[in-house]
Amino acid sequence: MKKSNLIGVIVEDIGIEYMAQLIRGVEEIGHLYKYDIILSSTYGDDNALENAIDFLSTKQVEGIVVISEDISPEILVKLRDNKIPFLLLDKLHEFKKINTVKIDYEKEQYKLVKHLFNQGHENIAYVTLKNHNHLTDTKISGYEKFIKENNLKSIIIEADGKNSDDGYNIGEEVISQAKSENISAISFYNDQTAVGFISYCLDNGIKIPEDYSVVGFGNYEISRVYRPKLTTVSIPNYDIGAIGIRALIKRIRGEEDILENNWILDAQLIERDSTKSIS
């Protein structure tokens, strides 16, 4: 392949905070290795993703990085059969020989529920998304694993989406179920839905964490500036991008493949003001 010193980055939506952090890691380390980045957004559309792969191929990129929460098996096959080296960042999938840099979402969700349990909460609900993918199912597995190990009751509620408005809109249903199930703590799919729910509570005279403990997932900026500040899991997005691009460049150059297996990074539990001990 002709050397172009170009790497293509396909991202679902650059407006999503964690994806921007991943891209920053890719860009900064890529530039250290004298590679320029061509960025293409798909906004969750598989046709746009397929077109982006074809477009980047015409630009003679030496490698492709894909940043997306959900990719169809057909697209993974297309990437695998392409002659251009590629890497997935923070993507959960079941394909062998397609490696990625990510965190263990099941383990991190397990840790969140364990944290609530250690604070004395036993009736713990989990709010996920109606539209399931491998990521949503993996987080549910982490929740249910802890619940089953400790003989607790599984209480799963499904929101329409993953934005703060969706968290707000599910508020009435969550509170209704919390009253009937004696729920004292709620773990949300991400920070946005958690903050949306807290906003609903604020508008309806419900106090967090006095009435309910709430945790999110992701450590987005909103979790640090909203009140009460949100207990959550911090994902090392910059490091995921930096390690991923370094591994891809080594693969392009025919050097040691540092990603013979998936590279799993640890996330960090960030305890803030949205939970309280009841033990």
Helix (H, G, I), strand (E, B) or coil at 41: strand
Res. 57: pLDDT tops 70: yes
Q: In what order do the strands lie in the sheet with 63-67?
A: 36-41, 6-11, 63-67, 86-89, 100-103, 263-265
Measured between alpha carbons, how far is 152 from 126 in angstroms, rounded to an integer? 13
Domain ranges (residues) in the chain: 6-103+236-265, 105-234
pLDDT bracket for residue 76 (50, 70, 90): confident
pLDDT score at 133:
83
pLDDT score at 93:
57
User: Hey, what are 235's tokens?
Assistant: 């994902």
* Residue 262 CB neighbours (<10 A): 15
User: Hey, what are 70's tokens?
Assistant: 């959900």
Measured between alpha carbons, how far is 227 from 224 in angstroms, rounded to an integer? 8
CA 275 remoteness from chain centre: 22
Paired residues of 159 in beta bridges: 129
- Select the more confidently predicted residue: 34 or 90: 34
Q: In what order do the strands lie in the sheet with 155-159?
A: 155-159, 124-129, 185-188, 213-215
Whether the CB-CB separation of 218 and 177 falls below 8 Å is answered with no
Measured between alpha carbons, how far is 250 from 168 in angstroms, rounded to an integer? 45
Res. 171: pLDDT tops 80: yes
pLDDT score at 101:
86
CA angle 126, 130, 131 (to 5 degrees): 125
Res. 259: pLDDT tops 70: no
Cα dist from 126 to 77, 123, 142, whole Å: 33, 10, 11
Average pLDDT over the chain, rounded to an integer: 92
Measured between alpha carbons, how far is 130 from 196 in angstroms, rounded to an integer? 17
Read off the pLDDT of residues 10-24 as tens digits, 9 standing for 90 and up: 998 888 888 899 999
Read off the pLDDT of residues 144-168 as tens digits, 9 standing for 90 and up: 999 999 999 999 999 999 999 999 9
pLDDT score at 14:
85
pLDDT score at 263:
83
Query: The domain 105-234 belongs to what CATH superfamily?
Result: Response regulator (3.40.50.2300)
Helix (H, G, I), strand (E, B) or coil at 241: helix
Measured between alpha carbons, how far is 100 from 1 in angstroms, rounded to an integer? 23
For the chain, the straight-line distance linking the first and the last C-alpha, in angstroms and rounded, comes to 63
Please list, in sequence order, all residues whose beta carbon lies within 8 angstroms of the beta carbon of residue 1, skipping any fewer than 6 positions away. 60, 62, 83, 84
pTM, to two decimals: 0.90
User: Hey, what are 122's tokens?
Assistant: 């036993």
Asked if domains 6-103+236-265 and 105-234 share a fold, the reply is yes
CATH class of the region 6-103+236-265? alpha beta
Res. 44: pLDDT tops 90: no
pLDDT score at 258:
57
Measured between alpha carbons, how far is 143 from 112 in angstroms, rounded to an integer? 8
User: Hey, what are 236's tokens?
Assistant: 């090392």
